[in-house]
Structures are given as structure tokens and as C-alpha cells.
A and B are shown apart, each in its own frame.
Chain A
């Protein structure tokens, strides 16, 4: 095999490990952001129970 073959093997090892490291970091970024900035929008509720029946009907 040519020297390039062995270099390619080495790059592949580092590359596969590298992309997993990157994605794992981004995974924790996603988790961290989701925890730090949870979506707090809740469905709108009527201000007063009586308002629920105050339609135009």
C-alpha cells in the first residue's frame, strides 16, 4: 500500500473522532440553551373565569 493509504487511515481516525467531538459539544450546547432559555410561553388563559363565557353569542 502507498504511504497515502496509511495517512488516509490516520486522518480517518482523527476525522471520525473529531466530528463526534464537535457534535457532542453541539449536543451539550443544545441541552444547555434549552435549559437556560426554556420556552415559557403558555397558552393564553382568560383573565377571569367569567370572561370565558363572555363571547358574542
Chain B
């Protein structure tokens, strides 16, 4: 009897599998030791190990005796949860239940940063086509810049399912790296005087319950009328928010924020890992995608900061915006707001930018979902 018959997994191991197992260990290390998005990176890291052991029963295998396919659990999860978009949409319900839109009512103009800081998505999409990706692949890569994991998963699972693994890894890894990626870009584009700029606080302004209840409903209706393809994304997000704000479903709201979010996150992470097999992941394209992902984050940050500077040209002195707040227009909530608040305090220990930064960051959560919907609507028309 040969070794390959006795230990088929050892005999079937390729160098790509070994690299992916190392990637799995790295993701687990980053999750535990550095606490970089541990809820997603740990399941993805473990899943990467799980699916890179040759002949793993976690993935569908062909039975050599009968020639029949033996369906693996992760493939079943993938078909049920990712291909149908169910898992990311359930995550949106959970995120919606966690979002408080009051800061936007306190300073509505900061919502516009949620649009400006999506600039990097489009720049990256154009650049990705220039380096050889197809339009659908380029759009899926660009959406990494949304700093919004579920949106990245939905867009790439529809437009470029072959790239889902690297795109998800890039999206979640870079979200965790916001404290490292954003500060140098912000510092490069702002002067010390600009970083020290103080902003008027509207934190004491109270928002009526009726307005908070009507906002998610109106946003859903308006988004649906203009771009119906964005409705799944924005609708589930706003549904979660309505559960939170209605005041009569506190139990459901807590469940969405905790149990639902946790359960789906476990399944989402390990299911995405099913696409992280060595033969699909260890390619030059993956390196290009990871590089383009950083590119997208950098240009998003720059877009937000430069838009704030442009807005300041038209605003009265007492209403001027600290340009650093523009960088919070990405969807990485509340990490981006915390980073910018910290940068403000570093320049001036009495400059509290947290509330405006949170407002812009909430705008970014809406903006990223809208961009996801727009890309899903526009790309098939051009492809």
C-alpha cells in the first residue's frame, strides 16, 4: 500500500494549501493577539485552515468509489447564505438595530461626507480595470473602500463570486487597520491649524421620536423609488433601525443587536472561508486585490478630507468643519470617528470632535450601502 493511499490528505497537500494554512494562522493571530476584527477574522482564519486540508469533508468532494458528489457543510452554507445574500442582509438588520441616527439630525450637513468619502471606491474601480480586471471584478474590488463588510460581500458575491475570498479578507482586515491607514493620509492633507479647528457642538439638541421613526421608512421608500436595486441593502438596514426606534420591539431590537448579529457573524466568517482554498486564493490577482483595497481606503479618506476643505470655502467661520471629520465619511463605525477624535485631542487636548465625527461616520454607513446599490444597478447596464 502506498503512502498516498494511507494518508491521502498529506500526500495531496500542495504548496498553495500550506500558504493558505499559514494565512489562516496569521488571521487567527491578528484576531486574538491584535484584536483586529476578531469576530470575523477568527472564523475566517479557522475556516481557511479547515478548507485547505486536502479532501476536507467541509467542502464538497467527489466520492471516488461512486463518482457522486458528497456535499460539504461549508458549501451548503455558502449556497444558502451567501449566494442567496441572506447572511449579509441579516447582518444589515443587526447593524440597523445598532445605528442611532440622532447625530445626523443634530447636524444634517455632515451626512454629505457619507457621499464624499466613497470617492475611493470609484477611483479604485477605474484603476482596477486599468490593471486588467473586468468591469464586474473591478467594481467588486472598488467596494472594499466602502469599509463595509456586508456590502462588499453582497456586491462581490453577485458581480465577481470568484473574488469573494480575497475581497472579504481585504475588506475586514483593512476595516481593522483604519487607525493605521487613516492618520497619515489625514496628516498629509491638513495643516496643524486645520487639525486644531474646533467645531460647534449640537450634542444637546434633542430629536423627536416621530422623526426617528419616520426617517428609516422615508429613506427606504425614496431609495426604492430612485434605485430599486439598492432596496435589499438599504431596506434591511432601515428595517433594523425601525425595530430599534419604534419603541415597542425592544426585545427584538436587543436580539437583532446581539444574538442575531453574533449567530450570523459566526456563519458568515466561516462560510466566506470556503472560498479561501489555495488554488483560488494563492494567485497574483489576490496580491493586486489586497493592494487595490488599501488604495481605495486611502482615496476614500482623501475624498472626505478634501470635500470638507471645499465646504469650508462656503461656510461662515462659526460653522466651519474640521477637515479631519471628512475622513469619517467611511463606514467603519465607530472606529473612524474614534481615530479622528483621538487625532483632534492629540493636537489640542480640549478639542472634542467625537460628536461631529460620529455624525459623519453614520452618514458613511448610509453612503456605503447606497453606493453598493448603485454599483449593483449600474455595472450590469454597462458590462
> Is A4 close to B, CB under 8 A?
yes
The answer to whether A23 and B111 have CB atoms under 8 Å apart is yes
Measured between alpha carbons, how far is A36 from B382 in the docked complex, in Å? 41
Query: Could you mark each residue 128-151 of chain B with 1 if its beta carbon is under 8 Å from any beta carbon of chain A, else 0?
Result: 111001110011000000000000
Partner of A30, one of B105, B226, B378: B105
Using CB atoms and an 8 Å cutoff, list the residues of chain A in contact with chain B: 1-2, 4-5, 7-12, 14-16, 18-27, 29-31, 33-34, 36-41
The answer to whether B112 and A23 have CB atoms under 8 Å apart is yes
Q: Closest approach, in angstroms, between the C-beta of A16 and any C-beta of chain B?
A: 6
Measured between alpha carbons, how far is A37 from B314 in the docked complex, in Å? 29
The answer to whether A11 and B378 have CB atoms under 8 Å apart is yes
Partner of B122, one of A7, A11, A24, A30: A11
The answer to whether B122 and A16 have CB atoms under 8 Å apart is yes
The answer to whether A19 and B130 have CB atoms under 8 Å apart is no
The answer to whether B206 and A26 have CB atoms under 8 Å apart is no
Contacts of B126 in A (CB 8 A): 5, 8-9, 12
Query: Besides the contacts A18-B370, A36-B211, what 17 more A-B pairs have beta carbons closer than 8 Å?
Result: A1-B130, A4-B129, A4-B138, A5-B130, A7-B383, A8-B128, A8-B139, A15-B371, A15-B374, A16-B118, A18-B374, A19-B370, A23-B115, A23-B367, A33-B215, A37-B210, A40-B208
Contacts of B135 in A (CB 8 A): 4, 7-8, 11
In residues 354-383 of chain B, which contact A (Cβ within 8 Å)? Answer: 363, 366-367, 370-371, 374-375, 378-379, 382-383
Q: A11-B125, A15-B378, A19-B374 are known contacts. Are A29 and B215 too (CB-CB below 8 A)?
A: yes
The answer to whether A20 and B122 have CB atoms under 8 Å apart is no
18 chain-A/chain-B pairs, Cβ below 8 angstroms: A4-B133, A8-B126, A8-B138, A9-B126, A11-B375, A14-B374, A15-B121, A15-B371, A15-B378, A18-B227, A18-B378, A22-B226, A23-B111, A26-B366, A27-B109, A31-B108, A34-B208, A34-B211
The residue in chain A whose Cβ has the minimal distance to the Cβ of B377 is A18
Measured between alpha carbons, how far is A34 from B104 in the docked complex, in Å? 11
The answer to whether A16 and B104 have CB atoms under 8 Å apart is no
> Is B76 close to A, CB under 8 A?
no
> Is B304 close to A, CB under 8 A?
no
Contacts of B383 in A (CB 8 A): 7
The answer to whether A11 and B379 have CB atoms under 8 Å apart is yes
The residue in chain B whose Cβ has the minimal distance to the Cβ of A31 is B108
Interface-side segment among B56-64, B216-224, B243-251: B216-224
> Is B119 close to A, CB under 8 A?
yes
The residue in chain A whose Cβ has the minimal distance to the Cβ of B226 is A22
Q: A4-B134, A20-B112, A29-B215 are known contacts. Are A39 and B125 too (CB-CB below 8 A)?
A: no
Measured between alpha carbons, how far is A40 from B209 in the docked complex, in Å? 10
Contacts of A31 in B (CB 8 A): 108
Measured between alpha carbons, how far is A19 from B379 in the docked complex, in Å? 15
Partner of B371, one of A19, A30, A40, A41: A19
> Is B80 close to A, CB under 8 A?
no
Contacts of A34 in B (CB 8 A): 105, 108, 207-208, 211
Measured between alpha carbons, how far is A1 from B355 in the docked complex, in Å? 44
Contacts of B211 in A (CB 8 A): 33-34, 36-37, 39
Measured between alpha carbons, how far is A24 from B114 in the docked complex, in Å? 10
Contacts of A27 in B (CB 8 A): 108-109, 111-112
> Is B214 close to A, CB under 8 A?
yes
The answer to whether B115 and A19 have CB atoms under 8 Å apart is yes
The answer to whether B214 and A37 have CB atoms under 8 Å apart is yes
Query: Could you mark each residue 41-84 of chain B with 1 if its beta carbon is under 8 Å from any beta carbon of chain A, else 0?
Result: 00000000000000000000000000000000000000000000
The residue in chain A whose Cβ has the minimal distance to the Cβ of B112 is A23
The residue in chain B whose Cβ has the minimal distance to the Cβ of A11 is B378
